[in-house]
Structure 1
Amino acid sequence: MRLRTVWLYLLIILLAVVTLLVIFRDGEPPLDPAPPATVTDVPARTPTPPPARPDGPADWDIFTDAPLGTTFRRDRYTDPTKGGISGHVHDAQGRPAAGVMVEIIDAMVLGQPSQFFTTTKAHTDRNGYYAFMDLQPDRYYFLCGIERELLPVGAGELLVRDVVLPGSGKVSGDVVDAAGRHIFPAFVYLINAQVRLVTRTTETGRFQIAGAPPGAFQLFARADGFTPSARKDLQLEEAEDESGITLLLESGCVVSGVVRDGAGRGLPDVMVSTQPDAARLGTVSTQTDAAGLFELEGVPAGRVTLQVWAAGTYTRVGPTLEVVPDRPNTVEIVLAGTARLVVRVISSDGSDLPEDLHVVLRPRNAPRSRAAGAGPLRAQPDATGRCELTRLEAGTYQVQVETASRLYLPVTERSVELREDAGQEVAITLDRAASINGVIRNTDGSTARNFRVGLTIRESGGRVQRRSASSDADGRFVFDLLPAGIATLEINANGILPVKQDNLTVPAGADVPVTLTVDRGTQLEGRVTDEDGAPCPNVNVIARPYGDSSFRAVSQAITGPDGRY
């Protein structure tokens, strides 16, 4: 009997251990995980087109104003000279999401025109775990679902960034070629202006994208050597399962050629791409080899315009050619221009420059739209604020600096004249912006909401700015991006006495606190009648301070049906 009892206890303990292992293992990576397969969009041979960037239509700029990430935690990375990004992806119900593609892009690449972007992808395992290992210390744009942010990876740091998918909808189907054969690997994208969900086909050509919220989407597929699939428009409802979709990828044509400078020398490391097509996902792009040769695969048949770009210069619209299947399509591209421009950016107070600072160079007569042919040149200055722009054609250019930071005043666009075989240098100073942070209170100390505050600020040079802001539910209002000067704040509203605070000194870069008090004053009631004593409705009655003829600080009321106000 004792032996049976001992065996019974052992069995209970064994079952408890197994249960605990199952509970705590789910959703966690192994203690020393083998990194999930990470796919980097790079050429396989020279020259070979890297997979075209998985970007949305031209008017969906997924990298615009991406905020600096704040929802990650920092762990130690095994290599003190490198870093990593890892985490878990869960669905809206908190379950591990397997087979989801998480994307990152080196922030320095954003100096390139958008059609040349490529991303590095990591595929989540059955526990929803993903990892990017052995990254160079840098800033990386992080993309998954609705998450779009900037992650600063430091040496010896592993940033842990978890993701919750935005919905419960599913989309599934096949990716096939013209003969009906399944394509592996192919990347499938479900995107709109807010959501970006990516997956990879299985070896049987099947795909499934989970975690989609309700809304309108476009579905695309991409694979090496094939033209991008035409988009498929979808309207998903809450938790809808859209299945049985077939995406067709057509075998593309090959365009080969050479890029030369004005002297006929082949130019290496020049990016060549097709123009963005609103009906397809991204572009087909490649990079020239040491001799300036390139080969574009997967180009759609028909009339195609090429674009070219090299580091330190702006995008040029290249030749237009008629691409024909099953025959050589060759082209020669000449990048003229020998002018050079050096831009130096400093801050007036010696503080560090914003991390997202970019220098923007645009030919004066070029369109400002990114989708209209050759776009502006965007270059990121180095740690000293210097950047050099080369291979520029002679002419007049507009120079500007851009940052999402509200610590610095916007810089006025500068004009510069460039000449062939000559260099120019432009110095740009960023001035710290001031701000006024105010609160409006009633005479009893309670907050006063929805009051409009007028600001007039006179700069030291005599220039005057006028702006307005409204108090929020807590009575607070803010004027930011202000130059140094003398400010006046005013509140003029029906039912209160005029409020004015003038001669308010706003130093450069300062945060000036202000409290304004609104007083409802004395209430005056009356009645308006005609000469016969009949009430006069809808009459505007104005109470003007004695001796004030400006009619700016007045109280007003309108009589009711009985003539009372």
Structure 2
Amino acid sequence: MLLALFVLALLAAVGWLATRGSDALSPGLAKPQQVPAESLESGAEGGQDLVTSGRVNEGRSEVMGEVEEPQASAAGRDAMLRGRVVSDALGSPLPGATVVISRRVNSEFYIPDVEERNARQPVVTAVTDDEGRFEVAVPTAVPLDVEASASEHATALRDHLFAGDDVELRLMAAAILEGVLTLSSDGSALEGALVLGRDSRRVEQCRALTDIDGRFLFKDLEPGLFILQITPRYAAPPPSKTIELREGERTWLELAVDPGVRIHGVVSDPSGSPIAGAEVGLGASFKRSVFTDVRGMYEMFGLGGAKRRDLGDPRVRAEGYGSEGKRLVDSELTQDTQLDFVLHPARYATGRVIDTDGAPLEGVYVAGVGEKKVDGVFRRDWESTVTGDEGRFELASLHLLVDHQLFLRKEGYGARVYDFPADEGDREQIDYGDLVLHPGGRIEGILMSQTGAPLPDHLIKLRGANEDLGRFRPEAEALEGTWVTTVRHSRTDTQGRFHFSDLPGGEFKVTASVRGRPEANDEATVELPEGGEVEGVELTLDVGDLITGVVLTPDGLPAVGVFVQVAGGEDQPRIRTSSGAGGRFELLGVTEDMGVVDLFTIMASYNWGNPDAHLGASRTVSAHAGDSDLVLELRELVLMTGRLEDAEGQPVEDVQVLAYLNGSAQVPRDALARATSDEGGAFRLDLPEECLVDLVTGTYIPKFDDTIEASEQAPPEPAVLKLVASDAQGVVLRFAE
């Protein structure tokens, strides 16, 4: 009997392959061209930099119990991605268009390793048929990127599509962007600068290096909002530039770049011996890195700059040593700054990764992850490697002062996280022995609005890890899991579906929320066995009715890349969006029961991309859920002057003064403007004309008499002055007793 069932199952599988395999396409469809499986270099670097790991309020929490083995439902799942490529200019299908489908290997995780984070795998390439359609077999439950191109048209890109989607890709008349980069100090051309372009969702569209004349040229660009990021080799990166590309038009851009400053120094061990080959770079990704010579010496050019002091974050690492970093403030980042680093010997971690049959697993990504503040210095570790053909790994540069977790990931297997032993700080080397990876599990579901309609392209978070996370510290308090290793992010597809794959067994929370309304979330708790699959998770959000409008400059021109926000007072949520092509915006999340809400623009958001504009926030506009055609017009700036005093009327130096739109939430990032008082207590603020603002100071630490007890030296409350005209002169802001 068992043999007969086996034969029937085998015949069914053969029949499915004959009718549904990649060679059996619908009539008239071109056969996909399989692409070699080497990695692609391009990737959406920082694509997930905007997602944070903030806690969510408990919404609906239910345990989902429909568990299946992955093999049971895989055969019946639609494993095809379908679509149609259309010429927007001609209004007709585009036969012969090339469709390239690829995937980002680690799209659900934010991984500091730039190379690993951007790792891509080609999936398939197809050519559209006479009706502009394509249909290809693709992996299931895997987010895919689709690129469609055709002669004399802009290339169209769509990210985060899944098997089962049926999409339309409209190719517009191409836009062209060209420009030149020069040094602001002498006007000389900037050769070899990386110019990278992203669309409004920060998906990479193009990249190139400037030529000997400092020029760059991009053709076949998709019209719309375009974010340009520039990284020179020996000059300071300017702020991102946001522009609008227009269909069929050529845009010319000239940028003068600040030369920045040079830093140099020596990297040594505690005995003073130089460390050759140490890598010195900027930030966690070690951007623009250089290496020390045999004397342990290094030099870097182009740090800081007038607009990007945040790049003054040099770090250093070397094999066998714990990494170190330094945070420089503006005053410290001067020309020819000397920065020396001392690296201490590191901790080693070793082990072997095997499958459930005991066979070694090659190509497993293994990382030691941790962060800790010690003696006022915050350190973050992400040391990684890949297992060899024997499944073995060695992490040789784990900082001795940091508590770590071990992160293991390989496609097709459940990713696992383990806390390091409780006595990690007392050990120089830790051997984990054999670590078993089980076949990956899967969680799938759908996100719907309050009306029952699917919500496409919406962020979904999954929190949780394997049940045996504390296996190596069984009696000690668990480490606080980092959001990098225990939180995954995905987006719903065109049908509102979401998918998480390669999961270990354990308890997981699946959450969707409305940005700016932390209380408006829905959450489901899922118990997932090793290698199991849970389907049918349903989440519902009340997203309200869309509010639409446009942001304009005082001259009536569209203002792109401007944050539009609900004022966010005590009785209003802090919902925001940004203006796109044509200055148009769509604000989701305002519901009928909120009544009238006040919308305003954040002034600085426009000036970031247009530093010479000097425009202020728009006037507040009242709106209801579902309102359309709203107009928010940016205003010219006016000058406010004032003086900051203590309770006795003496000037207070070096304290920040922030201006907020009157009545709005006093959150520093939403300030209209900010300034720091000088030695005479004076401050100056550029503010939008004809508006009322609330002034608030930062923390002020008075210089107390040494005879006063420390417990009596509490700093005064921030000084506050409300309903001040934006063009007021000689304003006095005073701290209370």
Q: TM-score, normalised by structure 2?
A: 0.38
Larger Rg over CA atoms:
1
